[in-house]
Amino acid sequence: MNIFRLAGDMTHLLSILVLLLKIYATKSCSGISRKTQELYAIVFVARYLDLFTDFISVYNTFMKVVFIASSLAIVWCMRFHPMVRRSYDRELDTFRHYFLVGASFALALILHEKFTVQEIFWAFSIYLEAVAILPQLVLLQRSGNVDNLTGQYIFFLGAYRAFYILNWIYRYLTEPHFTRWIACVSGVVQTALYADFFYYYFISWKNNSKLKLPA
């Protein structure tokens, strides 16, 4: 464990707490893409298949359970909670996200570390996570205005993988034969997808103005 990875995990946890706060406090999920949340639930379930077979550390197991439980809880809320589901922007959240699932799985069948069920699902989860934010970014472009909590949620979600890139650089420099090409390349693509959001987020923060994304 290094400071970059810890910062990344804490930022990731913070993004989930901000989203839970938004949904719980406002009893609304307006501006949140349910499709992106469903993709994250698939990412965590597919990635943590080793939850019961490989014990790495208490921290590792605890965080895996938190990520799986929170992502499923958010999807459940957005689908079944009477108050929350009414505020879902159904007509704006139209990205065909099942294509992302299919393409990520197809890529995982081709590019993986080992041809085993666990490794293919791990690679699948890495590729899917890289593109999972797309429905959310498309929804924001369409809805134009972004409320503060949603903006912070997406900012922390993008920032966490940027910390992981620093972690991979650090581990590459300090650990012999550390190579994680699949996670590294995918992580760079994932962070790059946030580039324009980060740009407009920074501008709005500098001008102390409302975050507006160009339609």
Separation CA 199–CA 42 (nearest Å): 29
- Residue among 26, 28, 30, 60 that touches other proteins (CB under 8 A): 60
Considering the complex, state which of residue 25 and residue 56 has its C-beta at the smaller distance from other proteins. 56
Considering the complex, state which of residue 8 and residue 135 has its C-beta at the smaller distance from other proteins. 8
- Residue among 63, 111, 166, 185 that touches other proteins (CB under 8 A): 63
Considering the complex, state which of residue 174 and residue 207 has its C-beta at the smaller distance from other proteins. 174
Residue 212 bridge partners (DSSP): 145
170 sits near other proteins (criterion: CB under 8 A): no
- Residue among 11, 104, 152, 167 that touches other proteins (CB under 8 A): 167
Considering the complex, state which of residue 149 and residue 183 has its C-beta at the smaller distance from other proteins. 183
Q: Hey, what are 66's tokens?
A: 């938190």
Considering the complex, state which of residue 9 and residue 93 has its C-beta at the smaller distance from other proteins. 9
40 sits near other proteins (criterion: CB under 8 A): no
How many C-beta neighbours within 10 Å does residue 148 have?
12
Residue 81: in which H helix or E strand, if any?
none
What lies within 8 Å, CB to CB, of 64 at 6+ separation is 44, 48, 51
Alpha-carbon dihedral of residues 135, 34, 150, 30, nearest 10 degrees?
Answer: 110
Could you tell me where the DSSP H helices lie in 111-210? Answer: 117-131, 134-143, 148-174, 181-193, 195-206
- Residue among 28, 94, 118, 204 that touches other proteins (CB under 8 A): 118
117 sits near other proteins (criterion: CB under 8 A): no
What lies within 8 Å, CB to CB, of 45 at 6+ separation is 68
96 sits near other proteins (criterion: CB under 8 A): no
Binding site for other proteins (CB under 8 A): 5, 9, 12, 47, 50, 54, 56, 60, 63-64, 67, 118, 122, 164, 167, 177, 180, 183
